[in-house]
Amino acid sequence: MRIQGLDHLVLTVTDMQRTLAFYTGHLGMTEVRFGDGRVALVFGGQKINLHPLEAPCLPHALLPTPGSADLCFIVAEPVAELLVTLQAAGVSVEQGPVPRTGATGPLLSIYLRDPDGNLIELANLAG
């Protein structure tokens, strides 16, 4: 078997509207609705399906838990600029810019948390 890529992942969320507002308003993702009332966030060629904690879609993870994800997104804008923009919007940035190592090489990253406490890394490809 040869895995070719990641199509989507799932986040379990406690407050759907708060989550949508964060990812669409601060991270520029697009909300989409599909199937029987399902909700996702789209960016590039990927998506994040959102499952409400009180009624996760079947099948689901053995222990669906809000705030347990650690995600890294590659962004086009310099993270130093995003840091200023996010802070001006009231989003707390926990760390950065700091150098890190990504799947394809060096990164320059900032870290923040979504409404459920998931760790969100926003990174530029460095070098």
Residue 118: CB atoms within 10 A of its CB come to 19
Active site annotation includes 121: yes
Mean pLDDT value of segment 27-56: 95
The pLDDT value recorded for residue 118 is 98
Structure tokens at 9: 């992942």
- What pLDDT is stored for residue 1 in this prediction? 96
The one catalytic residue in 31, 77, 94, 121 is 121
The per-residue pLDDT for range 74-118, each reduced to its tens digit, is 999 999 999 999 999 999 999 999 999 999 999 999 999 999 999
pLDDT at 56 over 90: no
- Residue 125 pLDDT class (50, 70, 90 cuts): very high
Other Cβ atoms less than 10 A from the Cβ of 63: the count is: 7
Which fold would CATH assign to domain 8-125? 2,3-Dihydroxybiphenyl 1,2-Dioxygenase; domain 1 (3.10.180)
The domain spans of the chain are 8-125
SS3 category, 84:
helix
8 Å CB contact between 19 and 116: yes
> Can the peptide bond before residue 78 be classed as cis, meaning omega within 30 degrees of 0?
no
